[in-house]
C-alpha cells in the first residue's frame, strides 16, 4: 500500500501526459528563446538591485572593523554558562518556595479555626474590586501592582462568607511577610501564590484581576489548574468506564459526558488514560486500544469519541470491571519501561446507579492495587448502594453528580484521596510545568510548585492544605541565552522528561487564559527525523553533547521553508528535570564585539528621528516595557544597560549614517529606475533599521518591522545568503480597494574581510510596474547594463509578448510575484496552485518544486455550525429565538459544560466542538497539516501539459541569484477555467487532521517522574463518600449568571 502511494504522482504524471518534447523541432520559437532571455533577465535584475542598494559600498564599510572586532564563539562554554545560570534561577525560586511553604505550614499548625466568621469579618484585598489607578506600573509583572500586599481570588461559585473561606483568608494573610521578603531577596521574582484546597487563592503582589472575554464569567479555579493537580498527587494510570445502557438516556448521559470531559482535563502529561463504554458489551470508545499518555492531542481524540456515545441495552457492572482489571494486567505485561505512570492505578466508574453487586469480581481480581472511584450521575432515583460499596471497598471514593452544578466539584474529589499517601509520607517533590499562558498577562510562564501539608495535631484529614507556586516567565529564561553569540537565526530551547517543550522560539500562545499547557513535542517543532529523535532521547536522559543536522525548517509564517545545516549543543539544567540546547547555524563562528572606548554613551543614540527605527529590545532596564521611557535618555544615564548590545547599536548607527545620502545620489544618477523606487532600507544585527527617504511616514511604517531578528524578510535573507529574495508586500491605501502590492527585494550584506560575517540585510521596495517593464520590454540597456540589450525583433519574440502566452514570476514558495496579464493585489499574492493548478501540478511532478508536510499541534480550527446530528431534539421551540438563546447560554457557560447538554436537548450537535475547557466562541483546538513548497533538484523544464484534449506548452527556468522562477505557459484551454479533472489541485492552506490519523502516532521515548506515593497503610479509607455536591447556593449562582448574561445581551 505504501509503495502504491509513493507511485501515485508518477502514475498520474504518465496518465496526464505531462511531457517534454522529444526534439527541439517540437518547441515553439518562444520556448527556444526563453532560457537565454531568462538568463539575461536574472543578471539584469541582480545587477539592478545591487546597484540600487549599493551593496558593494555596504560590504566595504562593514568590512572596516575600526572600533570593533570579531570574537570566536565558544559554543560549549556558552552552553555550560546558560545551563548554570538557568539552574541558579530555578534554585533561587525553589528556595523562595520552601520559605513560603514553611511559613504556611507553621501558620496552619498554630491557627485556631473560628467557626463564627462571616462575610466582612476578615479584611482582605479582593482582586475583582481593585482600583488599579492607585497602583504603580512594574515592568517585572507587566501590570500595575501594589508591592505592599497580596490579593485574594475566590471562584465565582464559592460564597466568600463561608467560615472556612474566611478562616483561610485570615491565616494565609500571614504569608505577606514571606512574599515581601522573597521579593527583597530576588528582585526579579515573578508571581508568588498559594492555592487552597477550597479554591481560595492568594497571590503577590496585588493587582487587578484580568477580565475574562466578553460575556464569559470568571471561571478560574485554582484547584483545576494543571500545576495544582500535578503538585497534589503522584502520576496515575486511569481507566474510565462509562455506562451507556438504556437507563442513562437523555440528560443523564449528557451529564456523564460532561463529567468525563471535566475529569480528562484534570489529567496531565505524566498521566496515562483510556476510556471504555459498557452496556451489554465493553468496548474502547476511540481508536486507542490501551492506555495512552494524557497529552493534549490524545485528549482531543477522546473528547471526540465521548461525543459519539449513544445509549442502549442493559449494563453489566461485572463485565465492565473484569474488562478493566484485564486491561491493567495486559498493560503491565506489555508496556515498555517508559510507558505508563508506574504509580497509581485508578478505575473511574460512571453510571446512573443500579442494583447489580460486582463484589465477587473486585474481591477476586483486586488486591487494592487498583483504586475504584464511582460516580452516580443524573437526577434519577436509582439505587447507589452497590456502587458506593464498590468505591469504599477499593480505597476509592463515591460521588453523586445529580446536576450540572455538581460536575466541577464532583470530578475533583478523587484528587484529595490520591494525595493521602503523599501527605502521610511527609515528603515533598518540586514539580515544574511546561509553559502556559499566565492568567495575569505576563505571557508564557513555567511554574514551580510544592504542596502544603497540615502538620497540626488535629490534621487528621490526610489531605493537603493547598499548593504553593512561583512563576518563571519563559521570556526571562530565553534572555539568559547567549543571543548575541548565537545570532539572529540561532536560538535556545528546553524540554522536559517527556520530551515536551518548555520554551522554544516557535511556540505559540493562541488559546485563552484558562487553557491547559499545550504539550508540544520537540520533534513536532523541529523535524521528525531519526537524528532529531536521537537528540531528543539524549536530552531526556540528561546527557551532554552536540549533533549536526541538515534540516528543512518551516518559517513562522508557515508559507516558506529553508534548508539549513545547524549544530545542536545540549546539556541538562541543574536542579530541574529540564534539558537545555543551544542551536547554531553552520558558519556562525564569530560575533561582533565593539570597543567601549570608541563611543561616548552619554551622548545617547545620535539618531535623527526620521532616519530610522530601533528594535524594542531590552537594551536597558525599563525599556521597552515601561511607558514613556526614552531609550536615548536611558543610554545617556548609563545605568542598568546591557553595554554590549547598546554598543553594537551605536556602532551600527555610526556605520550607516552616510547611507541616506549615498542612496539619494545613486537614484539621482540612474533616473530610469528611480521613479519606481519607494524605499531603500538596511536592517542590522544590532537592531537598527536605516531608511531612505527619511520621513516620519516611513519611520511609522517600519516600526512594524523594527525587531529585525524577528522579521520574515531578515530571516529569509540570512538563509539565502547572497541571493536576492523577492516578495510582495501590501501598501495600504485610503480604502481596502485602494491598497496595492509592491515588490520588496532583500539580500544579506556579507562582509568578507578579515572574516566572513553578516552585519545586516539590505532591501529595496519598488512598484510592480518597474519589474513588468523589465519583464515585457527587456530594456536592460536603458538601465545602463551594456551588452544586454535586445533588438525590437527580439522583443516581439519574447514569451511574455505572445498573445496566447501568460508569464509568471513565482517565488521559492510557489507564490505569484508578478504576471504579464493581471497584477492586481489579489492575484500577485496568490499561491500558484490556486491560480493555475495545472501549471503548479506540472512543476511539482517535474520536481521544479517539491513539498514538505508540516503539522501544527497548536492550531485553532473554525467551528463548523449547523452540522447534522443524531442527537434528539426534545423541544420544538422557535428556531430563531432558541438559537439566539442557545448561543448566549452555551458561550457563557462553555467552561462549566453547559454546551453538550443544551446541544443534546435543543439543538443539533456541532461535532467540531468537543473540547471541554476552551472558551473560544468561533474556534476550537485541533491539529492541522499544511504543505510548504520549495525548489527541487530540477532548475528548468520545457515541455507540454496534456489532459482531456487540452494541450499547453510550458517553459520554466530558475533565475540565478534570486528566489524567482520564470514561467511562460499557454493560456488555459477554455475561458471558464481548467478542463483537467484528474489532478488534485496543489494548495498551501492548512487542513484539519482527522482523529483517526492521529491515533497512528507512535508513542515516543520519555522518562517517568519519580518518586511515587501511591499507597500507605495508615490511610483512613473510611472516608470514602460524600453526597451530592450541588447546593442551593450553587444552583442560585448558576441561574443568576445565565440570567445576567441574558440581560447583558439585551443591552
DSSP string computed for 187-200? TT---EEEEETTS-
Q: Is the model's pLDDT at 513 over the cut of 80?
A: no
- Asked whether 517 and 432 are in contact (CB, 8 A), the reply is no
Is 800-864+920-1001 in the same CATH topology as 485-507+519-588? yes
pLDDT band per the 50, 70, 90 thresholds, residue 878: very low
Residue tagged 515588490 (cell numbers): 743
Q: Is the model's pLDDT at 1006 over the cut of 70?
A: yes
d(CA 707, CA 556): 15
Beta strand pairing status for 725-731 and 740-751? antiparallel
Q: What letter would DSSP give residue 465?
A: -
- 890 or 407: which carries more pLDDT confidence? 407
d(CA 819, CA 829): 11
- 893 or 202: which carries more pLDDT confidence? 202
- Asked whether 918 and 515 are in contact (CB, 8 A), the reply is yes
Highest-scoring range by mean pLDDT, 218-222, 301-305, 881-885, 919-923 = 301-305
What residues pair up with 469 in beta bridges, in sequence order?
A: 193, 449
What's the mean pLDDT in 324-347? Answer: 95
pLDDT band per the 50, 70, 90 thresholds, residue 784: low
pLDDT band per the 50, 70, 90 thresholds, residue 460: low
d(CA 331, CA 647): 60
Choose among 633, 649, 636, 725: nearest CA to 683. 649
pLDDT band per the 50, 70, 90 thresholds, residue 886: very low
At residue 1019, the 3 state secondary structure works out as: coil
DSSP string, 683-736: EETTSEEEEES--HHHHHHHGGG--GGG-HHHHHHHHHTTSBEEEEEEE--SSG
Beta strand pairing status for 950-958 and 688-692? unpaired
Sequence-distant (≥ 6) Cβ neighbours of residue 263 within 8 angstroms: 240, 348, 411
Residue tagged 517553459 (cell numbers): 955
pLDDT band per the 50, 70, 90 thresholds, residue 1030: very low
Give the helix/strand (H/E) hosting 561: strand 561-572
d(CA 132, CA 176): 19
d(CA 953, CA 919): 53
- 611 or 1012: which carries more pLDDT confidence? 1012
Pick the CATH number of 230-419 from 3.40.50.410, 3.40.50.720, 3.40.50.1700, 3.30.1600.10: 3.40.50.410
What's the mean pLDDT in 913-940? Answer: 75
Rg (CA), the chain: 33
d(CA 732, CA 389): 70
The three cell numbers of residue 432 are: 515544574
Kindly list the domain boundaries of the chain, sorted by start residue: 45-67+608-799, 80-220+439-475, 230-419, 485-507+519-588, 800-864+920-1001
- Asked whether 143 and 441 are in contact (CB, 8 A), the reply is yes
**pLDDT on residue 779:** 67
Backbone φ and ψ for 340, nearest 5 degrees, come out as: 75, 175
Choose among 920, 884, 804, 861: nearest CA to 1045. 884
- 258 or 17: which carries more pLDDT confidence? 258
Q: Give me the helix-helix angle, 296-307 and 251-264, nearest 10°.
A: 180
d(CA 522, CA 524): 5
pLDDT band per the 50, 70, 90 thresholds, residue 735: low
Tell me, rounded to whole angstroms, the distance of Cα 301 from its chain centroid.
19
Report the share of the chain in percent with pLDDT over 90.
58
- Asked whether 310 and 243 are in contact (CB, 8 A), the reply is no
d(CA 321, CA 369): 14
pLDDT band per the 50, 70, 90 thresholds, residue 512: low
Number of neighbouring beta carbons within 10 Å of residue 1010: 12
Give the helix/strand (H/E) hosting 229: helix 226-232
Q: Is the model's pLDDT at 911 over the cut of 90?
A: no
Pick the CATH number of 485-507+519-588 from 3.30.450.20, 3.30.56.10, 3.30.70.1140, 3.30.200.20: 3.30.450.20
Q: How far is CA 852 from CA 562, 984, 994, in A?
A: 10, 17, 19
Q: Is the model's pLDDT at 319 over the cut of 80?
A: yes
Q: How far is CA 660 from CA 330, 691, 701, 1010, in A?
A: 74, 7, 17, 62
d(CA 292, CA 267): 12
> What tens digit of pLDDT does each residue of 50-66 get?
999 999 999 999 999 98
Whole-number mean pLDDT of the chain? 85
d(CA 502, CA 513): 18
- Asked whether 522 and 499 are in contact (CB, 8 A), the reply is yes
Q: Give me the helix-helix angle, 385-392 and 317-334, nearest 10°.
A: 30
Beta strand pairing status for 561-572 and 545-554? antiparallel
Choose among 480, 574, 580: nearest CA to 522. 580
Q: How far is CA 674 from CA 29, 521, 670, in A?
A: 34, 50, 6
At residue 89, the 3 state secondary structure works out as: helix
Number of neighbouring beta carbons within 10 Å of residue 148: 10
Backbone φ and ψ for 668, nearest 5 degrees, come out as: -65, -35
Backbone φ and ψ for 1028, nearest 5 degrees, come out as: -55, 135
- 695 or 1043: which carries more pLDDT confidence? 695
> What tens digit of pLDDT does each residue of 799-826 get?
888 888 999 999 999 999 999 887 777 7
Tell me, rounded to whole angstroms, the distance of Cα 516 from its chain centroid.
12
**pLDDT on residue 535:** 98
> What tens digit of pLDDT does each residue of 827-859 get?
888 999 999 999 999 999 999 999 999 998 888
Q: Could you write out the three-class secondary structure of 349-377?
A: EEECCCCCCCHHHHHHHCCCCEEEEEEEE
Residue tagged 501540478 (cell numbers): 841
> What tens digit of pLDDT does each residue of 516-568 get?
777 889 999 998 899 999 999 999 999 999 999 998 988 888 899 998 999 99
- Structural domain 800-864+920-1001, CATH architecture: 2-Layer Sandwich (3.30)
> What tens digit of pLDDT does each residue of 936-973 get?
999 999 999 888 788 899 999 999 999 999 999 998 88
Choose among 580, 515, 512, 592: nearest CA to 546. 580
> What tens digit of pLDDT does each residue of 713-729 get?
999 999 998 999 999 99
**pLDDT on residue 782:** 64
Pick the CATH number of 45-67+608-799 from 3.30.1490.190, 3.30.450.20, 1.10.3720.10, 1.10.10.1100: 3.30.450.20
Give the helix/strand (H/E) hosting 940: strand 940-947
What's the mean pLDDT in 282-302? Answer: 95
d(CA 580, CA 536): 11
**pLDDT on residue 215:** 67
Q: What letter would DSSP give residue 61?
A: H
Q: Is the model's pLDDT at 868 over the cut of 50?
A: no
pLDDT band per the 50, 70, 90 thresholds, residue 638: confident
Q: Is the model's pLDDT at 605 over the cut of 50?
A: yes
pLDDT band per the 50, 70, 90 thresholds, residue 310: very high
pLDDT band per the 50, 70, 90 thresholds, residue 263: very high
Choose among 596, 634, 585, 598: nearest CA to 614. 634
Beta strand pairing status for 444-452 and 466-473? antiparallel
Q: Is the model's pLDDT at 49 over the cut of 70?
A: yes
d(CA 683, CA 689): 4
The three cell numbers of residue 242 are: 462509562
Scanning 69-139, the segments in alpha helix (DSSP H) are 75-110
Residue tagged 548609563 (cell numbers): 638
d(CA 355, CA 387): 9
**pLDDT on residue 601:** 74
Beta strand pairing status for 688-692 and 466-473? unpaired
Choose among 264, 316, 262: nearest CA to 288. 264
d(CA 629, CA 582): 33
**pLDDT on residue 1013:** 94
Backbone φ and ψ for 583, nearest 5 degrees, come out as: -120, 120
Amino acid at each position: 500500500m505504501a509503495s502504491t502511494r509513493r507511485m501515485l504522482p508518477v502514475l498520474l504524471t504518465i496518465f496526464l501526459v505531462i511531457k517534454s518534447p522529444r526534439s527541439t523541432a517540437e518547441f515553439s520559437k518562444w520556448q527556444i528563446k526563453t532560457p537565454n532571455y531568462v538568463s539575461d533577465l536574472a543578471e539584469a535584475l541582480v545587477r539592478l538591485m545591487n546597484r540600487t542598494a549599493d551593496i558593494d559600498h555596504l560590504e566595504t564599510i562593514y568590512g572596516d572593523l575600526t572600533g570593533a572586532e570579531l570574537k570566536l564563539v565558544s559554543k560549549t562554554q556558552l552552553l555550560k554558562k546558560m545551563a548554570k545560570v538557568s539552574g541558579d534561577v530555578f534554585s533561587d525560586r525553589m528556595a523562595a518556595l520552601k520559605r513560603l511553604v514553611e511559613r504556611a505550614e507553621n501558620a496552619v499548625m498554630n491557627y485556631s479555626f473560628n467557626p463564627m466568621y462571616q462575610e466582612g469579618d476578615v479584611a482582605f484585598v479582593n482582586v475583582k474590586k481593585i482600583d488599579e489607578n492607585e497602583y504603580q506600573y512594574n515592568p517585572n509583572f507587566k501590570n500595575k501592582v501594589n508591592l505592599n500586599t497580596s490579593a485574594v481570588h475566590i471562584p465565582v461559585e464559592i460564597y466568600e462568607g463561608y467560615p472556612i473561606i474566611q478562616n483561610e483568608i485570615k491565616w494565609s494573610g500571614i504569608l505577606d511577610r514571606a512574599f515581601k521578603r522573597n521579593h527583597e531577596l530576588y528582585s526579579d521574582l515573578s508571581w508568588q501564590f498559594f492555592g487552597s484546597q477550597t479554591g481560595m487563592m492568594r497571590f503577590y503582589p496585588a493587582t487587578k484581576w484580568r477580565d475574562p472575554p466578553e460575556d464569559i464569567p470568571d471561571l478560574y479555579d485554582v484547584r483545576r489548574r494543571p500545576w495544582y493537580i500535578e503538585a497534589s498527587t503522584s502520576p496515575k494510570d486511569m481507566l474510565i468506564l462509562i455506562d451507556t445502557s438504556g437507563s442513562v438516556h437523555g440528560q443523564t448521559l449528557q451529564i456523564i459526558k460532561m463529567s468525563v470531559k471535566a475529569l480528562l482535563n484534570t489529567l496531565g502529561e505524566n498521566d496515562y488514560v483510556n476510556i471504555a463504554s459498557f452496556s451489554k458489551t465493553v468496548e474502547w470508545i476511540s481508536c486507542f486500544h490501551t492506555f495512552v499518555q494524557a497529552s493534549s492531542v490524545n485528549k482531543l481524540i477522546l473528547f471526540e469519541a465521548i461525543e459519539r456515545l449513544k445509549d442502549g441495552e442493559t449494563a453489566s457492572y461485572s463485565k465492565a470491571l473484569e474488562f478493566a482489571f484485564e486491561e491493567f494486567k495486559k498493560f503491565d505485561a506489555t508496556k515498555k519501561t517508559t510507558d505508563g505512570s508506574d504509580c497509581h492505578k485508578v478505575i473511574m466508574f460512571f453510571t446512573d446507579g443500579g442494583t447489580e453487586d460486582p463484589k465477587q469480581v473486585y474481591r477476586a481480581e483486586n488486591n487494592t492495587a487498583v483504586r475504584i472511584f464511582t460516580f452516580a450521575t443524573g437526577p434519577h432515583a436509582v439505587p447507589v448502594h452497590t456502587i458506593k460499596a464498590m468505591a469504599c471497598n477499593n480505597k476509592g471514593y463515591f460521588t453523586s453528580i445529580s446536576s450540572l452544578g455538581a460536575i466541577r466539584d464532583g470530578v475533583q474529589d478523587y484528587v484529595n484521596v490520591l494525595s493521602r499517601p503523599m501527605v502521610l509520607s511527609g515528603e515533598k517533590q518540586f514539580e515544574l510545568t511546561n509553559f502556559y499562558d499566565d492568567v495575569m498577562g505576563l505571557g508564557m510562564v513555567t511554574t514551580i510548585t510544592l504542596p502544603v501539608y497540615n502538620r497540626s495535631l488535629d490534621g487528621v484529614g490526610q489531605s493537603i492544605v493547598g499548593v504553593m507556586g512561583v512563576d518563571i516567565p519563559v521570556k526571562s529564561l530565553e534572555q539568559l541565552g547567549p543571543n548575541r553569540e548565537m545570532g539572529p537565526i540561532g536560538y535556545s530551547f528546553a524540554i522536559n522528561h517527556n520530551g515536551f517543550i518548555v520554551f522554544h522560539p516557535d511556540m505559540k500562545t493562541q488559546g485563552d487564559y484558562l487553557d491547559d499547557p499545550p504539550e508540544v513535542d520537540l520533534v513536532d517543532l523541529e523535524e521528525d527525523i531519526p537524528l532529531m529523535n536521537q537528540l531528543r532521547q539524549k536530552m531526556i536522559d540528561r546527557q551532554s553533547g552536540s549533533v549536526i543536522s541538515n534540516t528543512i525548517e518551516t518559517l513562522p509564517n508557515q508559507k516558506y521553508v529553508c534548508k539549513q545545516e545547524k549544530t545542536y549543543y545540549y546539556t541538562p539544567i541543574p536542579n530541574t528535570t529540564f534539558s537545555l540546547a543551544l542551536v547554531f547555524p553552520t558558519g556562525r563562528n564569530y560575533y561582533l564585539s565593539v570597543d567601549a572606548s570608541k563611543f561616548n554613551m552619554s551622548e545617547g543614540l545620535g539618531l535623527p528621528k526620521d532616519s530610522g527605527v530601533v528594535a524594542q529590545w531590552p537594551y536597558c532596564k525599563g525599556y521597552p516595557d515601561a511607558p514613556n521611557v526614552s531609550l536615548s535618555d536611558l543610554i545617556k544615564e548609563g545605568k542598568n544597560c546591557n553595554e554590549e548590545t547598546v554598543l553594537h547599536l551605536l556602532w551600527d548607527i555610526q556605520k550607516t549614517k552616510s547611507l541616506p545620502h549615498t542612496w539619494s545620489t545613486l537614484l539621482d544618477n540612474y533616473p530610469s529606475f528611480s521613479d519606481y523606487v519607494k524605499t531603500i532600507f538596511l536592517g542590522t544585527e544590532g537592531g537598527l533599521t536605516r531608511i531612505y527617504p527619511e520621513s516620519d511616514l516611513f519611520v511609522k511604517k517600519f516600526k512594524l518591522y523594527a525587531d529585525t531578528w524577528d522579521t520574515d524578510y531578515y530571516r529569509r535573507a540570512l538563509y539565502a545568503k547572497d541571493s536576492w529574495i523577492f516578495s510582495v508586500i501590501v501598501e495600504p491605501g485610503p480604502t481596502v480597494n485602494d491598497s496595492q502590492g509592491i515588490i520588496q527585494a532583500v539580500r544579506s550584506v556579507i562582509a568578507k574581510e578579515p572574516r566572513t560575517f553578516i552585519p545586516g540585510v539590505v532591501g529595496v521596495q519598488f512598484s510592480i510596474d518597474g519589474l513588468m517593464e523589465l519583464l515585457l520590454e527587456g530594456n536592460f540597456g536603458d538601465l545602463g547594463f551594456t551588452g544586454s540589450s535586445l533588438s525590437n525583433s527580439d522583443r516581439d519574440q519574447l514569451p511574455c509578448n505572445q498573445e496566447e502566452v501568460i508569464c509568471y514570476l513565482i517565488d521559492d514558495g510557489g507564490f505569484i510575484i508578478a504576471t504579464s496579464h493581471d497584477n492586481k493585489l489579489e492575484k500577485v499574492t496568490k499561491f500558484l496552485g490556486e491560480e493555475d493548478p495545472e501549471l503548479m501540478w506540472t512543476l511539482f511532478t517535474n520536481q521544479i518544486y517539491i513539498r514538505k508536510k508540516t503539522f501544527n499541534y497548536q492550531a485553532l480550527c473554525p467551528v463548523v455550525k449547523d452540522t447534522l446530528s443524531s442527537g434528539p431534539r426534545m423541544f420544538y421551540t422557535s428556531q430563531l429565538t432558541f438559537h439566539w438563546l442557545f448561543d448566549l447560554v452555551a458561550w457563557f457557560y462553555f467552561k462549566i459544560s453547559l454546551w453538550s447538554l443544551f446541544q443534546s436537548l435543543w439543538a443539533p450537535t456541532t461535532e467540531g466542538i468537543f473540547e471541554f475547557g476552551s472558551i473560544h466562541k468561533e474556534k476550537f483546538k485541533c491539529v492541522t497539516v499544511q504543505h510548504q513548497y520549495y525548489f527541487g533538484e530540477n532548475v528548468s523544464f520545457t515541455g507540454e501539459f496534456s489532459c482531456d484534449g487540452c494541450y499547453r506548452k510550458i517553459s520554466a527556468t530558475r533565475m540565478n541569484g534570486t528566489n524567482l522562477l520564470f514561467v511562460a505557459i499557454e493560456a488555459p484551454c477554455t475561458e471558464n477555467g481548467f478542463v483537467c479533472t484528474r489532478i488534485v489541485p496543489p494548495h498551501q492552506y492548512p487542513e484539519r487532521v482527522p482523529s483517526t490519523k492521529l491515533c497512528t502516532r507512535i508513542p515516543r521515548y520519555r522518562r517517568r517522574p519519580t518518586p511515587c506515593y501511591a499507597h500507605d497503610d495508615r490511610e483512613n479509607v473510611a472516608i470514602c463518600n460524600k453526597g451530592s455536591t450541588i447546593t442551593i447556593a450553587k444552583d442560585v449562582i448558576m441561574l443568576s449568571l445565565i440570567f445576567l448574561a441574558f440581560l447583558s445581551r439585551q443591552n
